[in-house]
Amino acid sequence: MNETPAQSNGRPIAERVATRLLYPTSRPRAKTLREAVDGKVVLVTGASHGIGKASARKLGAAGAIVLLVARSADDLRQVAAEIEADGGTAHVYPADLTDMDAVERLARQFLDEHGHIDVVINNAGKSIRRSISDSYDRFHDFTRTIDINYLGPVRLLLTLLPDMRERKQGHIVNISTWGVLMPPAPQWAAYGASKSAFDVWLRSVAAEVSGDGVATTSIYMPLVHTRMSAPTDFSRVPGLTVDEASDLVCHAVTTRPREIAPWWSAPVQAWTNLTRNQVQRFFERGRSLLPGSSSRT
Ligand SMILES: NC(=O)c1ccc[n+]([C@@H]2O[C@H](COP(=O)([O-])OP(=O)(O)OC[C@H]3O[C@@H](n4cnc5c(N)ncnc54)[C@H](OP(=O)(O)O)[C@@H]3O)[C@@H](O)[C@H]2O)c1
């Protein structure tokens, strides 16, 4: 594709500059990533598309034994084939993470077949943007987001955590969203509540398991241009590519920080805590300007 002078990497230069300033990312050195993951068993949920797929490929290329989970078996097999073509090792586990019995069976299968899990990348997720007036007859929007974004990962970790604690090692990386650090945005009730639920769960559990050598990292991911964000028109909003987002995941795996968040989120949080009522009024005044609902399905 020919790029115009005002474009770079398929994106307008202004957007790339804004993205660099708002969400600086850096790619871990290949040697550093390899030292961190070579021979380690790394589970990636939601590995068939988007951020999970890109992360699984980079971790696999760096020598991790990658366990790939999602519903689309063919897509997972394709990702595994790509990892193996790069010289890596990948195992495919097609599963619906909203089926709690299946999730428990799957977690036991991981332990039976691989002995242990070193790193869990909790990435599978579903986003819905829908106004409350469009949701009165859609209770299932709330159950399906809570199932995949909260209950599924809780069910998975309840089975994996005892082994990690006993071995005194493990790392859980959660792909959260910067939205949970901000005042609740209109139309994101189902998604925001479900992502916040797991964020709180993990941070609470982190305090209990860190003494047993189990680290946790919450990545408060900014907008990433994927099939998930595509139904909402974010085309002109600065956001990361999946390549940049997966660099953040690899950075989390190598350095194991408690959290990774945009640099401006702490001051914005402090300011919004001070001006909570005004922010709420701002959202209330702006509701007539909001676009319609959007979700991939
Ligand atoms: N894109 C963004 O702007 C953004 C921003 C902040 C945070 N995030 C978070 O980043 C994560 C990945 O999002 P993405 O943008 O990469 O989305 P994506 O391209 O739609 O990928 C979502 C992944 O989750 C899997 N998945 C969904 N439902 C599942 C289920 N019931 N059981 C098993 N796997 C399931 C999907 O695979 P199958 O369909 O094959 O099952 C897919 O691999 C999500 O947790 C999202 O909340 C995204």
Atom 2 (ligand 1): residue with closest C-alpha?
Answer: 224
Reported as a pLDDT band with limits 50, 70 and 90, residue 2 is: very low
**Angle between the N-to-C axes of helices 30-37 and 242-255, in degrees from 0 to 180, rounded to the nearest 10:** 60
In this prediction, what percent of the chain has a pLDDT beyond 90? 77
Reported as a single tens digit per residue, the pLDDT across 185-201 is 999 999 999 999 999 99
Identify the residue whose C-alpha is closest to ligand 1 atom 44. Answer: 125
Using the structure block, give the residue that is written with the tokens 């034994």: 65
Instruction: Give tens-digit pLDDT for 93-138.
Output: 999 999 999 999 999 999 999 999 999 999 999 999 999 999 999 9
113's CB contacts (< 8 A; 6+ apart) are 91
User: Which amino acid, residue 128?
Assistant: I
Residue 125 alpha carbon to ligand 1 centre in Å: 4
The dihedrals phi and psi of 114, each to the nearest 5 degrees, come to -120, -5
195 against 10, higher pLDDT: 195
Between 6 and 176, whose confidence is greater? Answer: 176
Q: Is 27 exposed, middle or buried (0-12, 13-18, 19+ CB in 10 A)?
A: middle
Ligand 1 atom nearest the C-alpha of 53 is 43
Given the candidates 3.40.50.880, 3.40.50.720, 3.40.50.10490, 3.40.190.10, the CATH classification of the domain at 15-295 is 3.40.50.720
Q: From the CA of 48, how far away is ligand 1's center (Å)? A: 9
Q: In what order do the strands lie in the sheet with 119-122?
A: 89-94, 65-70, 41-45, 119-122, 170-177, 214-221, 259-260
Of 93, 43, 79, nearest in space to 64 by CA: 43
pLDDT tier, 3 (very low <50, low <70, confident <90, very high otherwise):
very low
- In this structure, which residue's CA is closest to atom 36 in ligand 1? 46
In order of 27, 37, 202, 226, the CA distances from 54 in angstroms are: 13, 16, 24, 11
Q: Which residue has the higher pLDDT, 292 or 207?
A: 207
Side chain identity at 99, as an amino acid letter? D
- Give alpha helix (H) positions in 9-92: 13-22, 30-37, 50-61, 73-85
Distance 6 CA to ligand 1 centre (A): 31
Per-residue pLDDT, 10 = 65
pLDDT tens digits along 34-59: 999 999 999 999 999 999 999 999 99
Q: Which atom of ligand 1 is nearest to the CA of 96?
A: 32
pLDDT of residue 275: 85
Q: What is the mean pLDDT of the chain?
A: 92
pLDDT for res 248? 97
pLDDT of residue 291: 66
The residue type found at 195 is K
Positions marked active-site: 191
Query: What tens digit of pLDDT does each residue of 212-256 get?
Result: 999 999 999 999 999 999 888 777 788 999 999 999 999 999 999
> Is pLDDT above 70 for 140?
yes
Q: What per-residue confidence (pLDDT) applies to 297?
A: 58
